[in-house]
């Protein structure tokens, strides 16, 4: 339960910045940009849509946070157990960083299948006002309506539009996230051991050394930056694919269905449009918001783990 709490708190904090990131990513293929940068996007969103606009699409990531963090930490722990059994590593000995990265990559891969439909709904909702710029935001469809519309239009398969990007991002990003957090935390614990002169340090119920709150927050902050820097272009391509129908609608020939945008085709189009810069649209604000967000997640998670194991 403490994983879900940590995830939901962080999503509420970061949502306006995530909305900014998606809107910047989604305009890469437009002939003219709506926003000149993250500050311009935040300012215009606040001016035109108010606080409600900044939190447009929040229900989807709240649900996503519950699903993502629960599955990530659960599968991550289970895969660590599998690795221990395969390698014969005792419980008293911490897994190596490559082993942790492997377990984290597996957890990210599993989570990506659960996360793609949630992110599809979130991204579509976050660009709604760009298509219907009206103060009557109450008339815009909510998450259930958006979900139902996707299923009606493209079937259940359509819910996994952009999954390749989510898979790449979650697999590589989660490996970077957990291994960076553990690497920094181990450095901080080793430093504290040296300073204690060999005195035993307080342990959690699982036998690990308890981290000070600032150690959890700092190592988590580093992990947040590593997650987003690892494979950011995959996320940019995913966002462009998931908002293509809303921002750049195409009309199908009579009797023919529109082709689904492909990951590679979208990547090539984005590179032709703006080069490497386009693939990193919104990266700065994403890294900036992920640092405190990830710090919050691990601060809450490690803090509650002391009491609930």
Number of Cβ atoms within 10 Å of the Cβ of 202 = 9
Rounded CA-CA distance 169/164 in Å is: 9
pLDDT digits (tens, 9 = 90+) for 30-44: 888 889 999 999 999
Q: Is 205 helix (H, G, I), strand (E, B) or coil?
A: coil
Task: Name the region of 96 (left: φ>0; alpha: ψ -120 to 50; beta: rest).
Answer: beta
CA distance linking residue 109 with residue 175, whole number of Å: 10
Two tokens at 279? 């693939």
- Residue 39 and residue 284 in contact, taking contact as beta carbons nearer than 8 Å: no
Residue 239 gets which letter from DSSP?
Answer: H
**Treating both helix axes as pointing N-terminal to C-terminal, what angle do 2-26 and 283-308 enclose, rounded to 10 degrees?**
170
Instruction: Using alpha carbons, select from 272, 228, 237 the residue that is nearest to residue 22.
Output: 237
pLDDT tens digit string along 94-115?
A: 789 999 999 999 999 999 999 9
Pairwise CA distance, residues 222 & 238, whole Å: 24
pLDDT of residue 92: 67
- State how far the Cα of 50 lies from the Cα of 73, in Å rounded to an integer: 35
Residue identified by tokens 């599809």 is 120
What is the full per-residue pLDDT of the chain (309 aa) written as tens digits?
A: 555 666 677 777 788 899 999 999 999 998 888 899 999 999 999 998 888 888 888 887 787 777 777 788 889 989 999 998 898 887 767 789 999 999 999 999 999 999 999 999 999 999 988 876 555 445 778 889 999 999 998 899 999 999 999 999 999 999 999 999 999 999 998 888 888 777 777 766 666 778 889 999 999 999 999 999 989 999 999 999 999 988 887 754 445 556 778 999 999 999 999 999 999 999 999 999 899 889 988 888 887 776 665
Give the Cβ contact number of residue 60 at 10 Å. 24
The pLDDT value recorded for residue 89 is 81
What is the spatial distance between Cα 105 and Cα 173, in angstroms, rounded to a whole number? Answer: 8
Q: What is the torsion angle, in degrees rounded to the nearest 10, for the CA atoms of residue 69, residue 308, residue 98 and residue 182?
A: 90
Say which residues have a Cβ less than 8 Å from residue 113's Cβ, sequence separation at least 6. 160, 163
Give the chain's domains with CATH numbers: 2-308 (1.50.40.10)
Q: How far is CA 307 from CA 37, 204, 299, in A?
A: 43, 8, 13
**Distance of alpha carbon 20 from alpha carbon 41, whole angstroms:** 6
Beta strands (DSSP E) in the chain are: none
**Secondary structure (3-state) at 203:** strand
Cα–Cα dist 7/15, whole Å: 12
Q: Can you give the pLDDT at residue 205? A: 60
Cβ distance 98 to 22 under 8 Å?
Answer: no
Q: How much is the pLDDT for 31?
A: 80
Structural contact between residues 296 and 10, judged by C-beta atoms closer than 8 angstroms? yes
Query: Measuring CA to CA, which residue among 97, 95, 141, 91 is closest to residue 121?
Result: 141
Closest listed residue to residue 147, CA positions, set 241, 242, 235, 234: 242
Cα–Cα distance measured from residue 65 to residue 298, given in angstroms and rounded to the nearest whole number? 14
């Amino acid at each position: 339960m403490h994983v879900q709490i940590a995830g939901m708190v962080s999503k509420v904090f970061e949502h306006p910045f995530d909305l900014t990131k998606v809107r910047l990513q989604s305009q890469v293929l437009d002939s003219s940009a709506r926003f000149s940068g993250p500050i311009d996007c935040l300012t215009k969103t606040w001016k035109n849509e108010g606080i409600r606009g900044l939190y447009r699409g929040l229900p989807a990531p709240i649900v996503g946070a519950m699903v993502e963090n629960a599955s990530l930490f659960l599968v991550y722990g289970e895969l660590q157990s599998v690795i221990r059994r395969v390698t014969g590593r005792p419980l008293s000995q911490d897994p190596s960083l490559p082993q942790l990265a492997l377990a984290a990559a597996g957890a990210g891969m599993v989570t990506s299948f659960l996360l793609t439909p949630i992110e599809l709904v979130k991204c579509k909702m976050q660009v709604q006002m760009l298509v219907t710029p009206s103060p009557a935001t109450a008339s815009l469809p909510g998450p259930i309506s958006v979900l139902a519309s996707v299923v009606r239009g493209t079937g259940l398969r359509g819910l996994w539009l952009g999954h390749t990007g989510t898979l790449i991002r979650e697999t590589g990003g989660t490996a970077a996230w957990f291994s960076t957090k553990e690497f920094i935390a181990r450095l901080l614990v080793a430093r504290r051991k040296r300073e204690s002169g060999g005195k035993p340090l307080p342990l959690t119920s699982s036998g690990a050394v308890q981290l000070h709150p600032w150690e959890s927050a700092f190592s988590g902050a580093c992990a947040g930056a590593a997650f987003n820097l690892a494979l950011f272009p995959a996320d940019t391509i995913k966002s462009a694919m998931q908002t293509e129908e809303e921002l750049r609608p195409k009309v199908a020939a009579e009797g023919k269905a529109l082709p689904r945008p492909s990951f590679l085709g979208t990547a090539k189009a984005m590179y032709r449009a703006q080069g490497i810069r386009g693939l990193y649209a919104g990266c700065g604000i994403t890294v900036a918001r992920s640092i405190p967000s990830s710090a919050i997640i691990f601060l809450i998670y490690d803090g509650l783990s002391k009491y609930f194991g």
